[in-house]
A and B are shown apart, each in its own frame.
Chain A
Amino acid sequence: MNVKRFLTRFTPYLFLAPAIFIFGFALFYPVFYGITLSFFQWGMRDMYAKAPLFVGLKNYIEISQSPYFLTSLRVTSIFIGVTMVAELSIGMALALLAERKTRGLHIFRTIFILPIMIAPVVVGVIWRYLYNPTYGLINYFLGIVGIKQIMWLSQSHTALASIIITDIWQWTPFVFLILLGGLQTVPNEVIEASVMDRANYFQRLIHIKLPIMKPIIGITVVLRLIDAMRGLVVMFIMTFGGPGLSTEVLSLHIYKTAFVGQRLGRASTISVFLILYMLIVAFGVLRIFRTERR
């Protein structure tokens, strides 16, 4: 009886054990290891020959003054800022359009799922082809309207814009689908009551729908921000961070520092900065969108 009792008491832990093991082994430990490594100097070639050399905060001091890092930080900030505002506003506008009784809504929704499901590598390939200055279709269409050839991916002032457009193409549908789901949770009675009170469409939107949607909008923004800051594949395929550093977001900067520059310690330090930046942004956004519970 005692054994059985013991087992019952620990059953939840037995169910959780495999997950905790995998998290610990392949997620927490590596992240912890990476944070430790950020205090060391270690090159890729030293991996077998030498132990990492403890340098204290040296990496941190150097990186916070490094123009490459600061540029990459700026590129990342512009990228997430612009994509977030664009995706949220376009997604919201489309969701409001589709919210009212729409025939064939499921067809639109199905179409909008496609870019979300397709691999970023594939997205990078498609858009690199579309942006090609001589045979790309974007310049072809612009040519019809009379706009001269643009060297989309090989000029530093258009490269980031090209990446941003690609991101908007791939992820606005995601924002749309989630916000549409959110709009459908607005209770009908509330809307009907406001119609009785002769509130017009915009009053209804600003005073009723948006406040009810606030937490959902907040989570959508956080999910998008996280994914945008994690992403590097589209840049990897389309520009590899170039020209110069114009499209080198932090994730890509980490990869290049570690596996092109072969500086593992330094790259780990940038990783710590990226994680801190994500935490600050995510919790900042959650704070802004927090609803007071009365």
Chain B
Amino acid sequence: MKVLPKGDVANISRYVTLIVVSIIVLFPIYVMIATSYKARVQTFSMPPVWLFTPTLKHYEAVIVKGHFVRYLLNSIVVATSTVFISIIVGGFAAYGLVRFAFLGKRVVSTATLLLRMVPPAVMIIPLYILWTKLGIMNTRTGLILAYVALSLSFTIWILRSFMMEIPVEIEESALIDGCSELDIFFRIILPLIKPGIAVASIFVFRIAWNEFIISLILTNRYTRTLPVAISMCMTELGVQWGEITAIAVIVALPAFIFTFFSARSIIRGLTAGAVKG
């Protein structure tokens, strides 16, 4: 009988561990997707039904019923506007910080960390009062403003790390050619940091698309976003698992898309704060 060499045994157990962990990671997500395609009875059945004919009934019900389409549009409008404003404003700020060395790097990194610490739960009380006074309560504008504030420090951090890699000479020669600072920013810097903009956009979109508690407080039944809409379904009489998981799948859809198409950017974004310190 042949005995496997020691190295192979270690290697195989290594892969087995990684595969088992991956299954644990994927399983709950699989359950969510599967449940959204099951018939109502099957979502409650015990033992669980593993093989079933998928039905689109829950998705149809969700789209027809209530204000789902409105909430979906709200989510899309709020998330994309937040991304757009955050990138422009954050890009300006990042450029200011990188090219004009008037603030210490330490101050910026400490401030970014501090800003990242502000808990949404702490924000909701003052925002509730101030937005009411300003008359932007229950508007998408108010929500977008709060989200830009929440995501801006992250955007600045990411874009700054990409801008620092651009050699100063490029800009210097542009200055000599008579470009203004604004020209340089839009025509040279922004095109050069496209990958950075992609990373920042994904993460800002994630913040605005996934956020729950601020949206719960600052919106009403016309302006609310999808995560809040899900929570409203949960509290209604008798949990309709099929419909709730259908909305959940739709909410998770951008996450799936980003993950499969830009895993590399996401890893860069995740590690930007930690490794680049």
Contacts and interface: CB of A to CB of B under 8 A. Distances in A.
A117 B255 contact: yes
Interface stretch (B53-61, B127-135, B190-198): B127-135
A177 B270 contact: yes
A47 B260 CA distance: 47
A106 interface: yes
Nearest to B23: A111
A255 interface: yes
B130 A29 contact: yes
Contact of B230 (A117, A122, A275): A122
Given A177-B271, A236-B231, A274-B121, 18 more contacts: A11-B96, A12-B96, A18-B92, A20-B93, A27-B123, A29-B130, A37-B126, A37-B129, A97-B14, A109-B263, A118-B29, A134-B46, A135-B46, A216-B274, A219-B277, A230-B120, A232-B121, A282-B113
Contacts of A268: 125-126
B145 A114 contact: no
A106 B266 CA distance: 12
Interface in A1-28: 11-16, 18-20, 22-23, 25-27
Nearest to B258: A117
Contacts of A15: 92-93, 95-96, 100, 181, 185
Contacts of A114: 25-26, 29, 255-256, 259
Interface string B250-274: 0110011011100100110011011
Q: How many B residues touch the partner, as a band?
A: 35 or more
A114 B252 CA distance: 9
B124 to A, nearest CB: 7
Interface of A: 11-16, 18-20, 22-23, 25-27, 29-31, 33-34, 37, 47, 94, 97-98, 100, 102, 106, 108-122, 125-130, 134-135, 137, 140, 169, 173-174, 177-178, 181-182, 185, 215-216, 219-220, 222-223, 226, 229-230, 232-233, 236-237, 250-252, 254-255, 258-259, 264, 267-268, 271, 274-275, 278-279, 282
A229 B156 CA distance: 23
Contacts of A12: 96-97, 99-100, 102
A210 B276 CA distance: 18
A271 B125 CA distance: 9
B68 interface: no
A189 to B, nearest CB: 19
Contacts of A126: 28-29, 31-32, 245, 248
Contacts of A122: 32, 227, 230, 248, 251-252
B92 A112 contact: no
Interface in B208-255: 209-210, 212-213, 217, 227, 230-231, 234, 241, 244-245, 248, 251-252, 255
B194 to A, nearest CB: 20
Contacts of B40: none
A114 B267 CA distance: 11
Say what secondary structure dominates the interface of chain B: helix
Given A22-B149, A97-B18, A113-B259, A130 B125 contact: no
Contacts of A119: 209-210, 212, 227, 251-252, 255
Interface of B: 14-15, 17-18, 21-22, 24-26, 28-29, 31-32, 35, 43-48, 88-90, 92-93, 95-97, 99-100, 102, 113, 115-130, 132, 145-146, 148-150, 152-153, 156, 181, 185, 206, 209-210, 212-213, 217, 227, 230-231, 234, 241, 244-245, 248, 251-252, 255-256, 258-260, 263, 266-267, 270-271, 273-275, 277
Contacts of B252: 118-119, 122
Contacts of B185: 15
Contact of B121 (A16, A177, A226, A252): A252
A43 to B, nearest CB: 12
Contacts of B15: 102
A216 B274 CA distance: 6
A85 B65 CA distance: 44
Nearest to A97: B14
Nearest to B11: A100
A22 B141 CA distance: 13
